Structure 1
Amino acid sequence: MHRLLPAFLTLGAVGLALGKIPQGAIAPGSNPFSNVNWYVPTAWQSEVFGSIAKYAKSTSQWDRIPAAVVASQQPTAVWVATNEAAVDDLPSILRDASKSAGTDGHPTLVQLIVYNLPDRDCSAASSEGGWKVSEGGVEKYKGFIDGIAKLIRKYEDLRFAIILEPDALPNQVTNAGDPNSKCAKARSAHIQLLQYAIANFQAANAAVYLDSGHGGWLGWPDNQVAAAQLIKQIVDGLPKPARLRGLSINTSNYNPLLLPNITDKSDPNLKRLQWNPGYDSVHYAKALGETLATYNLSSLNHFIVDTSRSGTNIVLETDAWCNVKGAGFGLKPTYKSGYDNIDALVWAKTPGQADGTSDTSAARWDPMCTAATALQPAPEAGTWFHEYFTQLLDNANPKLI
């Protein structure tokens, strides 16, 4: 007796059998970021243009304008972080992206970051989500995923690269040890919902990358092993043939892409380097890929790296993550990373949007956002932070122009 596969797993196969290959289809085994036109969100451009308007008012700031224009031309990811965004904002964004899809023979790539788990950001407060597992959040999240999945299949002329739930997996690796912790209580729901999202995002025109933190968080061997074991649990629970393309790293963080070879990792002053084989993004991807291989997960040895704020080596001695002073733009987005296991360098974090507010009376205030390492005053997470954008421009490495 033949078991029928779910419709979302058979649509691509049927289309290929009939010779109707979607414009955005990804050839099996290929890099989804290659041979595409990367979508540049108009909302991102509007925010940059707002900063440019401020520079234009002062002759002492005019020299920032050319670099800001170059920044505005770089593709960034679209964050889908509330159910309302999935229902209202995303369709108009995809209609905009679809206008130019395939006009030069290449599909348009839209980068999505799906970030709305119930009890999201379970170890911090600055980007805490609105849904709770204890208040029907599981079913709400499934409906949220269903809405996004429907749009992905509707816009088959587009190609999608999806970063799934930043920080969810690493929080379960390092912040769920106490059974009474918020992360521990959400663990089973988070695993179930990550599996649900991966399974429902299966489409000929979509590639999914599960977020796996960064080397300053999970770079140490014990954390890598725990991460690989949890990834295996998630993957083994997927309906076949659902699969991941790979993993995203350094999303919204500041780790440098590549540092000089560190021969002495015993220096206690270099907190993120001490005894850490994954001390930068390149080394973290290499080490995690090797660890995954020991769990028969070599197929996931494909990474995308957020370089939006990785231009300076500012976090080697600290765990700071909120609006960190001294940050600068890193390398521009490209699929030519120079590394076989890195599909692309991307600007996942919208550069210039705040990590969290410095207002101690705010409901989502986190102490890290008023630490000495944080640029202040700062608005709520996800809000445009002109002074921070200016810092990224001034400290860009390499320079944008």
Structure 2
Amino acid sequence: MPRLIHALAALAVLGLTAGCGSAPEAGRAPVAGGASTRTDAGARSPFWVDPRGPAARQIELWRRQGRAADAASLRRIAREPVALWPAGETDPGPAVGSAIGSATREGRTALFVAYDIPHRDCGQHSAGGAADADAYRRWIGRFADALGDGRALVVLEPDAVAHIVDGCTPGEYHDERERLLADAVVRLKRQPRTKVYLDAGNPSWIPDSGRLVGPLERAGVADADGFSLNVSNFQTDAASKEYGVGLSRRLGGKHFVVDTSRNGNGPLEGVWCNPPGRALGTPPTTATGEPALDAYLWIKRPGESDGECGGGPAAGRWWPEYALELTRGPAG
């Protein structure tokens, strides 16, 4: 049972705010630069790489400090496209618009996560979200307006549906949440080149995917391009693919995407928050070998903390040493 740690608002990167926003803590369980960069990623995927993301900035700092080997290792993160999580509770327009503009100039697709649902994360690490339903609709509207007619892929509200199913989100909020999600799908899909994937948790969280079907349907998955799995979690590609194919069948063939940002060594049993010994997973690609699986994506930014646990900083904060540890794994 995963949750989200993507408290993005104030992602500090080397004491600065990271580019266009940042990531959070999704997918956790209750218990348990530059031109050459874009060329590398372009060989594998159609997605835009932020040349000024936190890993790219860290590389610059480490090079100045003489840490050339560590800087070279971190390039495994900096060269890949990673989703942007525009800060909730503030206008997402500037961050979204900036990324879309850059991606459009390069002829690429920008990756985003919309993460501002009211009563977010059950008041835990990534607590917050819009003050009420009207505030959320305004936030989504600004988000969508900024997308314009650029090419975009949006993962919608990690953990929001799964928290309905596991009961973490109180029952009195369920109907409103499903309506807000359904409305958000419709609003985002008004943008002509935006794809939307409604989050569906991960295989270890709701093992019986049949329990997700009703909530996903009420939350508008029929109008979305599909659903997302494993956001900010560590489940293997094989486990996520098998689970996704089964859920797809139950949803009439809906497609899905999988977060592979940190799953190179799979999960560490009983530890969802900054588990040690993890590794980068499959680099972002649309070549998945499974017709229903549209892409492996890095939705959680590798190197951002899941929360104040295991020696980590606050959720969504850049943690360079953890990022470096991820690059030393076998994947990618």
Specify the TM-score bucket, using the shorter chain as the normaliser.
Answer: 0.7 to 0.9
> Match of 2:151?
159
Contact 2:262 2:302 in 1 (8 A): yes
Q: 1:284 aligns with which of 214, 223, 243?
A: 243
Contact 1:52 1:68 in 2 (8 A): no
AA aligned to 2:97 is P
Q: Quote the Cα distance in structure 2 between the aligned partners of 1:206 and 1:338.
A: 23
Q: Quote the Cα distance in structure 2 between the aligned partners of 1:139 and 1:389.
A: 37
Q: 2:98 aligns with which of 81, 92, 110?
A: 92
Q: Which has the higher contact order (CA 8 A, sep 6+)?
A: 2
> Match of 2:69?
63
How is 1:262-341 mapped onto 2 (pairs within 5 angstroms)?
280-290=239-249, 292=250, 297-300=251-254, 302-315=255-268, 317-318=269-270, 320-341=271-292
Contact 1:251 1:349 in 2 (8 A): yes
Q: CA deviation at 1:85?
A: 4.7
Contact 1:314 1:326 in 2 (8 A): no
Q: Quote the Cα distance in structure 1 between the aligned partners of 2:275 and 2:45.
A: 33
Q: Quote the Cα distance in structure 2 between the aligned partners of 1:82 and 1:192.
A: 19
AA aligned to 1:196 is D
Q: 2:318 aligns with which of 369, 384, 393?
A: 384
Larger Rg: 1 or 2? 1
> Alignment RMSD, CA only?
2.3
Q: Is 1:205–2:204 an aligned residue pair? A: no
Q: Which moved more, 1:82-91 or 1:197-206?
A: 82-91
How is 1:67-78 mapped onto 2 (pairs within 5 angstroms)?
67-78=73-84
SS, match of residue 37 in structure 1: coil
Q: 1:172 aligns with which of 164, 171, 177?
A: 164
Q: CA deviation at 1:386?
A: 1.0
Q: CA deviation at 1:51?
A: 4.6
Q: Which aligned segments of 4 or more residues in structure 1 are displaced greater than 4 angstroms? A: 33-36
SS, match of residue 383 in structure 1: coil
Q: Quote the Cα distance in structure 2 between the aligned partners of 1:168 and 1:217.
A: 13
> Match of 1:118?
118
The change in CA–CA distance for 1:323 and 1:85 in structure 2 (over 3 A counts) is farther
| Identity fraction in percent | 27
SS, match of residue 134 in structure 2: helix
AA aligned to 1:171 is H
Q: Quote the Cα distance in structure 2 between the aligned partners of 1:34 and 1:55.
A: 26
Unpaired segments of 5 or more residues in structure 2? 1-41
Q: CA deviation at 1:55?
A: 6.4
Unpaired segments of 5 or more residues in structure 1? 1-32, 102-107, 177-181, 237-241, 259-279, 358-368, 370-374
> Match of 1:49?
57
AA aligned to 1:142 is R
Q: What is the count of residue pairs matched by the alignment?
A: 290
SS, match of residue 151 in structure 2: strand
Q: Is 1:257–2:257 an aligned residue pair? A: no
SS, match of residue 354 in structure 1: coil
The change in CA–CA distance for 1:204 and 1:323 in structure 2 (over 3 A counts) is same
Q: Quote the Cα distance in structure 1 between the aligned partners of 2:43 and 2:253.
A: 18
Q: Quote the Cα distance in structure 1 between the aligned partners of 2:64 and 2:101.
A: 32
Q: TM-score, normalised by structure 2?
A: 0.80
Q: TM-score, normalised by structure 1?
A: 0.67
AA aligned to 2:241 is V
The change in CA–CA distance for 1:227 and 1:81 in structure 2 (over 3 A counts) is farther
**Deviations, residues 346-386 of structure 1 (Å, cap 9, x unaligned):** 000011111112xxxxxxxxxxx3xxxxx31x111111011
